[in-house]
Structure formats: structure tokens, C-alpha cells
Structure 1
Amino acid sequence: MARSVVVPVVAAVLLLVVSWQVAVDGPLLGLDRSVRAAVRSFHHEHPSALLDQLGRLLSDLGGGVPAVPVLLAAGGLAAWWWRRAGAARWWLPLPVAAATAVLIPLLVVPAKAAFARLGPLGDRLAPGQWGWYPSGHTATATFSYGVAALLLTRAAGRWTARGLAAGAVVLALGVGAGLVWSDYHWVLDVVASWCLAALVLWALDRWLPRPGA
């Protein structure tokens, strides 16, 4: 039981601490500046158009397209797999996928507006513009690919399930890294979205039934 609550407890504490530090402009934000300085220094010392292009590509994987269409397609595929597996509520992945797509902006947009954090480039926010905290692209990627994998792994074989879970983790980490590398987000913006998604995924994993169970 203790192990089962480690992830949500750590994620919740880290999210609260980071949010508090962002709200009060606390010393933890020095980590943001240090990471950005290190990345900028590496850019300067080892210029690479290939790495820059890869960073932008990874960042784009956290956009509403392709992340949300992948989520919805996975919901449809999972429903088919669940039906083949004999699940009574085989249709459940469809509303779960749709609800996840709606949940992402409901969680992220109010937080962005409330914290109104400036991005790494320091540009002032225009009237009505949301801030940078937490990272919307990171949240979209982690929620979308994470829930997609979760729905599919319920009716997948052992190795397929492991591959899907690993793929979702790699995509979430890759999008976050791409955003920081491309100077689109502070690293703590990304960490906060990972924590938020971890809490939702943990809860969904415990609520979602397994076909045939």
C-alpha cells in the first residue's frame, strides 16, 4: 500500500512547492535560470541545426495536433480491443478519451491565467494572454499519450503493454526536453505539468477496470 501512494504524494508535494515558488518568485526559480543558462551555453558552444530542429519537432508533439487526435484514436482502438476481450463496458475508453481532451484545458488554462508567469524570453503578457506556468504543451502530451497508453494496455499483452507505457513516457519526456531546449518554457513549467498529469494518471489507473476482470 505504501508503494502505491508514493507517486501521487511526491507529485502533489512537488507541484505544491513549485507552484508556491512561482507565485512568490522564490529562490527555487534559480533552478530555471541555471538550466536555461546551461542550455544557452551549450547552444553557443555546440551549434547544431539538427538539434534545434529536433527540439522544435519534439515541442510540436505536445500540440493539440497531433496529441489529441492520437488520444481519441487510441480511445476508439481500445474500445475495439476491450470488446474483443469480452469487457462488459467495452465502450468506456471512448468517453474517457473525450473527457481527457476536455480536462486538459480546464486544468491548465486557469492556472496559466492565475500565475501569469513570464516566459524565458521575458516578453510582457498582452491583455488577455495566458502565462507560461504550467506548460500547456507538456500537459497535453503527458495527458494525451499517457491516457492513450493506459486505455490500450488494459487489453494488451504483457510486452505490448510495456512498450506502450514506455512510449508514452518517452514522448512526455521528449516534449518537455524539446520545450526547454527551444527556450519555449522554463524547466519548472514542464515539471509542474508532469506532476499534474501524474496525479490524474495515477487516479485513472486505479479507477479504470480491466476487460474480463
Structure 2
Amino acid sequence: MSGPLLTPDHALSRALVRTLPDSLTERLADLGNIPVAVPVLVVAMVYAARRGRYRAACAAGLAMALIPALVVPLKEWTARPGPLEPWAAGYYPSGHTATAAVAYVGAAVLLRPHTRRAWPTAAALVLTGATAVGLVVRGWHWPLDVLASLLMCALLLLGVRWVSSPRPGSTRRSSG
């Protein structure tokens, strides 16, 4: 593999890997596991749906369903080896980062209109960032694997936000 970003990516990874205890970084990385992150989104989807925001809840669920449809083919196509496992392939982009971003930020998008506070977004960014840091510092992903997932998910989450926003001229706030 070659490219202008690979050298800085590898240098940054070498500087970061195992700078924190594995027991901590494993727990941070686990925040992106499906059994941890997806239930957070499901609870927010149920809450939003019960508040009449069916379209918003469905958009968030669709964004999560698109994660494997986008990540798996990219992993197979790039066949990028891992930082600590150069014999293995399929590390780009990071599925754990994508799962965390869509679950936590998607939940924040669904909850924020009902809280009228910034804490859902702040919590989502902290949890997603913690997942990304855990994956890179533990050595399970290159920094670009994580960055690619965040950029991909930003597009999905912009779609969720768009569907969740009230429509101009709409008198019902709960329709989104």
C-alpha cells in the first residue's frame, strides 16, 4: 500500500500506540461494540417515536443499518492491514468508530430537541471520541481508519439531522 497520507498515519500510530494502559483503551474501544452502542440509539429512537418523531427515529435507525452496508465492502476493497497485525486485513474504515458515531450522535440528535440543552451532543462527542482514542491507542486501528469512519458518518448524521429538523411552514414540531 502507498499514498501520501500513509507515512504520517503510521508515524502518528507509532507515537500513540500503547501510551495508555491496555485495560483502559480496551474499555474505551468497547464503547463502539454493537451490544454497547446500539441499545443507546434504540432507546433514543423509542423515546423519539413515543414523542411523535417517527421519521427522525426511522432516519437514525436507517443510518445505523447503513453502517455495515458501507463499512464491510470498503474493508474488503482496501484490505488494509492493522497496526499490530500486519498479516490481517480489513481495518479501513473502522466499524467500531462508525457504530459509536451513529449510535451516540444519532441519539443526541433525537434527544436534543426534548432536552433543549447541549449535554446530549457533548456526551455523544465524548463517547465517540473515547471510542476513537481507545481504538488507535490500543493499536486496533490506524488513525486514518478512524478519521475515515468519522467523515463517512458525518454524512449519514447530516441526513438524520435534516430529517429531524422541523420543516419550514410546518405547524407541528413533532412530525420530524
Q: Same fold judged by TM-score > 0.5?
A: yes
TM-score by length of 1: 0.73
Q: Among the aligned pairs, what percent are the same residue?
A: 39
Structure 2, unmatched stretches of 5+, are: 167-171
Structure 2 residue aligned with 1:109: 72
Structure 2 residue aligned with 1:38: 15
Q: How does 1:134-153 map to 2 (within 5 A)?
A: 134-153=93-112
Deviation at 1:139, TM superposition (A): 0.5
Q: 2:4 aligns with which of 9, 27, 42?
A: 27
Please say if residues 72 and 97 of structure 1, whose CA atoms lie closer than 8 Å, have aligned partners that are also in contact: no
Write the deviation string for residues 3-56 of structure 1: whole angstroms up to 9, x where unpaired: xxxxxxxxxxxxxxxxxxxxx62131112211122124x73xxxx6xx322211
Please say if residues 117 and 132 of structure 1, whose CA atoms lie closer than 8 Å, have aligned partners that are also in contact: yes
SS in 2 for 1:185: coil
Q: 2:49 aligns with which of 79, 82, 104?
A: 79
When Rg is computed on C-alpha atoms for both structures, the one with the higher figure is: 1
* 4+ runs deviating over 4 angstroms: none
What is the distance in 1 between the residues matched to 2:56 and 2:159?
15
What is the distance in 1 between the residues matched to 2:49 and 2:113?
10
> Aligned residue pairs: how many?
169
Deviation at 1:164, TM superposition (A): 0.2
Structure 2 residue aligned with 1:15: none
What is the distance in 1 between the residues matched to 2:146 and 2:87?
20
SS in 2 for 1:147: helix
TM-score by length of 2: 0.87
Amino acid at match of 2:81: L
Structure 2 residue aligned with 1:188: 144
SS in 1 for 2:114: coil
Asked if 1:212 corresponds to 2:170, the answer is no
Deviation at 1:172, TM superposition (A): 1.0
Amino acid at match of 2:173: G
What is the distance in 1 between the residues matched to 2:160 and 2:8?
31
Structure 1 residue aligned with 2:169: none
Please say if residues 97 and 147 of structure 1, whose CA atoms lie closer than 8 Å, have aligned partners that are also in contact: yes
Q: How does 1:32-181 map to 2 (within 5 A)?
A: 32-40=9-17, 43=19, 51-80=21-50, 82-83=51-52, 90-125=53-88, 131-157=90-116, 159=117, 162-181=118-137
What is the distance in 2 between the residues matched to 1:146 and 1:207?
14
What is the distance in 1 between the residues matched to 2:54 and 2:10?
47
Structure 1, unmatched stretches of 5+, are: 1-23, 84-89
What is the distance in 1 between the residues matched to 2:139 and 2:106?
27
SS in 2 for 1:131: coil
Write the deviation string for residues 48-101 of structure 1: whole angstroms up to 9, x where unpaired: 6xx322211110010111111111111001222x34xxxxxx333442343233
State the Cα RMSD in Å.
Answer: 1.9
